[in-house]
């Protein structure tokens, strides 16, 4: 058995079924829709999960707390397929604790059949024109990043002074959002409940595949470029099997299956060579602009403190 704790709608059944067919190991999946929920689930069931999918700032959090196992890379020879640009990153420079799964951005989707004005910035989304017609991912750390970017501040800085400056912005913006959804935010845009969204790029890519009226915008102030990875929690009961699963997922033909169902940016260079021109041409999956993309790391408060900060504001706005 392999106990996999992962994001909702991120690991195709074709992949887990294929691993079971090849290895005979049954994969048991539990899902979360935010990194904060992932940490809570790890705390609630210590030494239970074999694999988890943290984003890069949370890889750092888990490494600092001793929450991840060092991987035996001898069992993961398919690491050779990774794009070199995903080596040496600050959150895990030697890839000792994590292996990239998918990369992407958080940006703005606009239904251009409904919204005729250009939307180029985070503030444009929250101008008041689209109040009650906005869907966003339900991620507290992301919300702080949007506010910081709009203020011309680094999205990595979350010390007390930086958070204090975002509070009036968030108090103005958050009531305009009608739907908070990290599981499948593209659904509200597709069924017409929202006209503007702030979503993961893979969600935007799915929308563009269905209808190019859904345009993806990377705000001019900057956007978060994320990297989600596979990592082995401390005390994982089936560590060797977890490493075998990681290696299986890095097989180029298996990795293509992930891109087909969840069209994020694939960090597997060998797999990208197998993608079609249409897949590589999806503007949300493989955006052309890179200078405005930034990783989401934390300078100052940790992720838990940031989460509590935004939750307090949201609770006060509800009352």
Residue 92: the pLDDT is 94
Query: What is the torsion angle, in degrees rounded to the nearest 10, for the CA atoms of residue 282, residue 113, residue 197 and residue 267?
Result: 0
For the 2-103+227-280 domain, the top CATH level (class) is alpha beta
Q: Kindly provide the b/e burial profile for residues 109-127, where b requires at least 16 CB atoms within 10 angstroms of the residue's own CB.
A: bbbeeebeeebebbbbbbe
The pLDDT of residue 301: 73
Encode 150-212 in three state secondary structure: HCCCCCCEECHHHHHHHHHHHHHHHHHEEEECCCCCHHHHHCCCCCEEEEEHHHHHHHHHHCC
List C-alpha distances in Å: 189 to 136, 178, 275. Answer: 10, 12, 26
Q: Between β-strands 214-217 and 27-32, what pairing exists: parallel, antiparallel or unpaired?
A: unpaired
pLDDT recorded at residue 290: 58
- DSSP, res 247: H
Hey, which residues does 300 pair with through a beta bridge? 158
Short-list 113, 3, 71, 82, CA closest to 243 = 71
CATH fit for domain 104-224+287-318, picks 2.60.120.1090, 3.40.50.970, 3.40.50.300, 3.40.190.10: 3.40.190.10
pLDDT digits (tens, 9 = 90+) for 23-37: 999 999 999 988 889
CA gap 188, 111 in Å, rounded: 11
Calculate the alpha carbon distances from 39 to 11, 33, 209, 227, 230 in Å: 19, 11, 33, 17, 14
pTM of this prediction? 0.86
Task: Supply the pLDDT for residue 261.
Answer: 95
User: How far is C-alpha 172 from the geometric centre of its chain's CA atoms?
Assistant: 25
Q: Where do the structural domains in the chain lie, given as residue ranges? A: 2-103+227-280, 104-224+287-318
- Same topology between domain 2-103+227-280 and domain 104-224+287-318: yes
Query: 173 φ, ψ to 5°?
Result: -80, -45
Q: Where are the alpha helices (DSSP H) in the chain?
A: 13-23, 35-44, 56-64, 122-125, 140-150, 160-173, 186-190, 201-210, 239-249, 252-261, 269-272, 277-280, 303-318
Task: Enumerate residue ranges in the chain where pLDDT < 50.
Answer: none
DSSP 3-state assignment of 294? strand
């Amino acid at each position: 058995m392999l106990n996999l704790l992962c994001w909702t709608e991120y690991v195709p059944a074709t992949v887990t079924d294929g691993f079971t067919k090849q290895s005979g190991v049954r994969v048991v999946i539990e899902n979360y829709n935010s990194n904060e929920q992932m940490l809570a689930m790890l705390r609630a069931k210590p030494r239970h999960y074999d694999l988890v999918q943290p984003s890069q700032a949370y890889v750092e959090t888990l490494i600092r707390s001793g929450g991840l196992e060092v991987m035996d890379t001898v069992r993961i020879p398919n690491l050779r397929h990774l794009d070199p640009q995903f080596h040496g990153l600050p959150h895990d420079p030697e890839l000792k604790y994590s292996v990239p799964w998918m990369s992407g951005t958080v940006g703005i989707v606009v239904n251009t059949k409904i919204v005729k004005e250009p939307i180029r910035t985070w503030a444009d989304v929250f101008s008041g024109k689209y109040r009650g017609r906005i869907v966003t991912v339900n991620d507290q750390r992301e919300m702080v990043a949007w506010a910081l970017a709009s203020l011309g501040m680094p999205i990595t800085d979350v010390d007390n002074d930086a958070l204090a400056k975002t509070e009036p912005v968030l108090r103005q913006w958050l009531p305009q959002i009608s739907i908070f959804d990290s599981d499948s935010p593209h659904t509200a845009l597709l069924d017409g409940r929202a006209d503007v969204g702030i979503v993961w790029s893979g969600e935007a890519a799915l929308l563009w595949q269905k209808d190019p009226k859904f345009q993806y915008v990377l705000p001019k102030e900057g956007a978060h470029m994320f990297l989600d990875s596979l990592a082995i929690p401390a005390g994982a009961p089936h560590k060797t099997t977890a490493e075998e699963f990681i290696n299986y997922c890095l097989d180029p033909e298996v990795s293509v299956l992930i891109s087909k169902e969840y069209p994020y940016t694939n960090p597997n260079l060998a797999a990208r060579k197998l993608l079609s021109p249409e897949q590589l041409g999806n503007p949300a999956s493989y955006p052309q602009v890179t200078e405005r993309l930034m990783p989401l790391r934390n300078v100052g408060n940790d992720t838990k403190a940031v989460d509590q900060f935004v939750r307090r504001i949201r609770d006060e706005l509800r009352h």
